[in-house]
Every structure is written in structure tokens, then in C-alpha cells.
A and B are shown apart, each in its own frame.
Chain A
């Protein structure tokens, strides 16, 4: 698991060197590399003086973090209650079939990652799908092709 983590010192220096900074540091690392490289976890543990086991524990507890690289396009299907009753499960199914992966996985060519997310707060426009931070509202079951092309 050797990934170039040249930018890591710059990320670490943004935060005070204390355990309280852990989640914020991991989020910045996740944003920079699209996942959490092992070496980054080790350096973070040293920098913040937090046991590596705790860093790993936090990395695996929260939904925001991924220990495996994500694809170029991260498609997040909102599975909140409103989206659910407006057909989110069908949309997810269509995407799973088209991409040939299950939710939580990334395509082998690293082009797409499919995820579910628990309510993003845009319930009035349910069902909602987010592709790389771009929100698509009132998504139709037949409109999933568009999501894969655009975004």
C-alpha cells in the first residue's frame, strides 16, 4: 500500500498537534487522496500522538472514510426516507446493474464508485443523487444513464 503522500505534512500542519484534530485531519486526507493511505494513517498517529489502533478505529467507524481508493466519479444515492418512498432503491438497483458493482464498491477501472448516503437534506427534491459534489434532484428511474455521463 505505497501511495505518494507528499502533501501530507502540509495537511497535518493545518491543525493543532492534539488528539482532537484527528477527524478533521482524516477528512482532509480523504479529500486530497480520495481515500486514506496506510502510510498517511501512520504519520497521522505520530503527529497527533494518538495510538495507531485508535486512528484505525476512527477510520473504520465513520462513513466518510475509505481505506480503498475511490473512482473518478463518486455516485452517491441518497437513501433517506423521502428518497426511499420516491424510488431511491430502484435507482440504486439500476446503477448497480449498469456499473456491475454493488453499493460501496468501485469499478475495476477506477472510473466509478457507487455509494449510498443517509439523507443529504434536500428532501424536497427527492430522489436525490450526488455525483462528485453535484446534486441531481427529482431523479427518474429511467434517467440513470444521464448520471453516468454527466457530473
Chain B
């Protein structure tokens, strides 16, 4: 059904809301990336099967919703019963029937599946009461977990496309840009450039045509915010892009999605198809005279294509080699024409800003960084998942109040923000309020929002080596400082991790880093040395331990550790023997086992399976 006039949308929304109200109970099954990896699809299947078999009075199958990431990935697979807010955790297919009996047929709960508060063991039924959720403010992630990700109708019920109507029928392009500028929204992809200013520059550019592109490349390892939004609430991205296109005078747009996200590609294509059918995309949108086509462009698999000029080359079907950005892509971008490129999360914020006003948005967060930010909180933290907090929230609150502190109560070592371009922040920085400028001043950066928590079992030299290896692999190879410089930087860090480094190496690497930063062609190279620089800044002693003492304090660097079986703890259960892929363990059943140091590769498989605590790492 095509919406040609705003009044039609209002009417449709009323009808849809009425239909939704008839569902006295709704089953929301989280189908976010984490829960999917943990078997959410089977749970959906089981629900459908059981509901079909047992007709529940008053319950329609449409009240079963496959939603986007609800957020608390650690506890998944998640099933939430609305409107009560009952939060079921670690659900298995065999639990489905009981959930239906207790929560749907009756008004009870399945106690054992509820979240238990780790401090006192008490059960908390409603997710809003759980600290993980109560500390958050979800704006970009507003619909994730609350609407069916495949139904545009659910998006409309949630006030979707209201902002588009307002923008197209009640506002002029420069008024929209003014509103976005007032909001203070800064690019959520990592660079933090003023969105309003970017749009203004493009709108004024004389060369035509103009383009709008969405950066859905999310290459930072550890980040899955954009993936969750693209899969769980694709229409929020579309609505943001349509408003942007109208503001800057673009009639063609692309959503560039990395190759590793096939579901995001599918969901976006479906959403575009639905939006086109409804008339929110295509010719003469809502009778305004404005037309726009959007296409999904699949990446080929290259981290460098997250860089704007490389991304645009990839959309054009070429190799993703960046160009020097002395002339910004907002003036000479896609096909050398004025282009607005914004991140997924940036676009997802736009409808809310238009709806509630720029000033409302500017009132959240900090003066320099308004609004909220989505983070993927992962690593050695108890509560891993997808969160969103106002800018200015302290790192400590995120890691301890929301994250629940460090796994196994181990000591906190560092938190890595900003992906391979970012840096590590140590314990003394835990009271830092999170926003663009404070993180940059502390020698890290906001980046796209990946937040990886590390404990004392993480070696920073190993981490720097890992990130540099990643960047060397992903470098496009066009310019010398990145291609050769990062290669040599990695070689030197590797030597240190193997106990072969000398003290002069550190200064040499710092000097090389400076040259790489100053002379690289694009952001990948320019920020490439950051993993080394930030770790050596805050953890210089750890580097020196590897160099002077040939020791790895975190017991991670393979060449500097050894695995031994403690004879009086080993009972010969053979678990380690079976786990060893290198035949380095010998021993008969019920007899003490021995590790052959010549064959042992220090992979750690034996320690992982030993239940007798008989394996010592030194």
C-alpha cells in the first residue's frame, strides 16, 4: 500500500497500533548477532511449532516477534515477554513449552530462566530493573529488541517515518541542516566530524549530482553495533538517509555493507523493498516531489574500505585504494561528485533528532559530544553485550555497573577503545568520561564503539603485535609509510614478544611511528602505530620486562613461557593428552603425565581442559 499523503500514514499508524494493542502478550525473541550464533533460530522454530500445535486463546502468531539485538548478549539466547518485561535468559529449545505455559497461558514466570543478581543471588524478573539496562539510554538502539526486524509495520507503530513526514512536508532542506547542526551530532563512525557541517558543505556544493552513502563497513574487530542496527532496525537507517538526501539534494544513495555481514545485507534489501512499496523511497516521496533510490552495495572484504575514499571506490567496483583527502569527499567523493558519507549509527540518530528537535539531543551528553553512543562491550567483562549510554558516562560505570566488573574477579588491566586505530586505557583512566575529545586527549579514540576489556591475562605486547599484524594484512599497499613502515613496526614488536628485542628498539619504534603518522596517505596508516604507542605509553614496564628480563608478565607470549604438569596434582585422567594436537603429552592412564618441551607449542589447550589444576604456566 502506497502512502502519498501524511494523513494516510497517520491513519495507517492508528490502525496498526490498534492491531498491536489487541496482542495482550507478545513474545520477543532476540535474533541479534550473539543470540543467533547461540541458536536463536532453533528457538524461533520451536516457538512456532508449539504455538501451532497448541492454540492459545487470545494469542495470535503475529505476537511472536523476531527482534534485533536486545543487548545482553552474555545471557543469550534471550526471550522477553511484553508488556510485562519478563526477561528470560539462556533459553534452550526445550524450555519453550514451559515458557508458553507459564508466561502466555498463565501470568506466571519460569523462575530458573530469570536473571539472577550476582551480588545476592536474587532473581530479577524485568529487564528494566537489571543494572545492565537501567544505566543505559537507548536512542540509536531504541527499537532493537522491541520490534520485529522483518516488519515495516512494527517500525511504523514505533513512530517510524514520522520524522520523514515532518522533514519533507514541514521543513526546508536548510532548516533540516540547521536542526542537525543544533543537535551537535558528530559522526559515530569514529572521526567525530560535525554531521550538520558535513551536510551543509555538500548542500552548497555546485557540482552535481549529489550522493548519500552509508558506511556499513564496521571493520573494527570487536564492534557489532552497526551490524545490530542494520539487521535489527534497518528502517531507522533508511529514514535517516532519506532525510539526509533531501537536505543535501541527492537522488541516489548507497548503503555499503561489508561482505562478512550477509544477514545485514538481506535485511536492508528487504527494508528497501518494503519502504519502496510504501512510497517512502522512489519517485515523488509522500507527494513532496522529492525522489530517491537507495541500493545496497556489498563490500568485497577489506578493512581499508571503511575509509571513505576507499569505500567510494569499492562502491564504484574498483579496488579500495584511498586517495589523499586534501580535497574532501564531501566536495569530490563518489565519481568525484559531492557526497555525504555517514556511519550507520549516525543515520539512525537522525529521525529522533528531527522528531524531538536538535536542542533536545544537544541536552544529552557533554557540550562537546552531544547525545549517546552505542558500544559493544566485550572481552573479559561479566556482562558482554550491546549498550548505549549518554556521552560523558565514566568508563568505570560502563565496565563495572553495566559490565558487571571483570570475569572471575580478576584484576582489570586495560580497556581498548577505537579498534586498531585506537588505544588502551589503563586503570588510572577509569574515571574518564567517555566522549570524543577526552578519549583522544588520553591517546586513545572513540572509534566506532568497540570496547574491549582486558584482565591481567592479557599481554599488551601481544596485543600490539596482534593489531599491527591485522593492519599489515589489511593495508592496501599503496603508500610506503603504511606498507613498509607498519610491516617493520610489526616485525620489531614481534621480536620483543619473542624475547629478542633490545632497549633501543623502543625509541626506534617511537620515531618510526612518528614518521608513519605524519606521512601516511590515509587514516589506516596514520593511526596504525596507535596500538604500539598507547601500550608503550601506559605499560612501558611490560615492554621492558620482555626486553630486559625476557619474561612475559601476563604469561601469554609463547617463546617466553613454558607449560609443565605438576606431578602431585596430576592423576592421569588423560584429558590433556587428548586435547594436545601436537602429541607433546605422554603418560598412561592413572599415571602422571609429562609435557615434552620440544614438541610443546604453548597453545594452552591442555591447561584449558585440565580440571585438576595440574598444569602450571611459568
Query: Which residues of A are in contact with B by a Cβ distance under 8 Å?
Result: 19-24, 26-27, 48, 50, 54, 57-58, 61-65, 79-85, 87, 89-90, 93-94, 97-98, 117-126, 128, 133, 135-138, 140-142, 144
Contacting chain A: which of B98-106, B235-243, B450-458, B492-500? B450-458
Is B604 a contact of A27 with CB atoms below 8 Å? no
B262 close to A (CB within 8 Å) = yes
Is B604 a contact of A87 with CB atoms below 8 Å? yes
| Given A23-B299, A141-B609: 18 more A-B contacts, CB < 8 Å | A23-B317, A62-B300, A64-B300, A82-B222, A83-B221, A85-B380, A90-B605, A118-B303, A121-B223, A121-B227, A121-B228, A121-B261, A122-B33, A122-B34, A124-B76, A124-B376, A126-B378, A137-B37
User: In the assembled complex, which residues on chain B have CB atoms less than 8 Å from the CB atom of A57?
Assistant: 319
A128→B36 CA distance, assembly (Å) = 12
Is B222 a contact of A123 with CB atoms below 8 Å? yes
Is A122 a contact of B36 with CB atoms below 8 Å? yes
B474 close to A (CB within 8 Å) = yes
B259 close to A (CB within 8 Å) = yes
B529 close to A (CB within 8 Å) = no
A27 to chain B, nearest CB (A): 6
Nearest A residue to B466, CB-CB: A84
Q: Contact check: which of A61, A84, A140 meets B319 at CB < 8 Å?
A: A61
A81→B259 CA distance, assembly (Å) = 19
A26 to chain B, nearest CB (A): 7
Is B223 a contact of A93 with CB atoms below 8 Å? no
User: In the assembled complex, which residues on chain A have CB atoms less than 8 Å from the CB atom of B578?
Assistant: 142
Is B302 a contact of A137 with CB atoms below 8 Å? no
Instruction: Return the 6 tightest CB-CB contacts between A and B, nearest first.
Output: A62-B300, A124-B73, A63-B301, A80-B221, A121-B224, A22-B317
Is A119 a contact of B73 with CB atoms below 8 Å? no
Residue of A26, A82, A97, A137 with most chain B CB atoms under a 10 A cut-off: A82
Is B259 a contact of A63 with CB atoms below 8 Å? yes
B127 close to A (CB within 8 Å) = no
A150 to chain B, nearest CB (A): 13
Residues 212-224 of chain B, each 1 if its beta carbon lies under 8 Å from chain A, else 0: 0000001111111
Given A54-B318, A82-B222, A137–B260 Cβ distance below 8 Å?
A: no
Is B260 a contact of A141 with CB atoms below 8 Å? no
Is A122 a contact of B37 with CB atoms below 8 Å? yes
User: In the assembled complex, which residues on chain B have CB atoms less than 8 Å from the CB atom of A50?
Assistant: 317
Q: Contact check: which of A21, A81, A141 meets B450 at CB < 8 Å?
A: A81
A9 to chain B, nearest CB (A): 19
B459 to chain A, nearest CB (A): 10
A24→B219 CA distance, assembly (Å) = 19
User: In the assembled complex, which residues on chain B have CB atoms less than 8 Å from the CB atom of A81?
Assistant: 221-222, 379, 416, 419, 450, 452, 466-467
Residue of A58, A122, A124 with most chain B CB atoms under a 10 A cut-off: A124
B299 to chain A, nearest CB (A): 8
A45 to chain B, nearest CB (A): 12
B535 to chain A, nearest CB (A): 13
Is B33 a contact of A58 with CB atoms below 8 Å? no
Is A120 a contact of B260 with CB atoms below 8 Å? yes
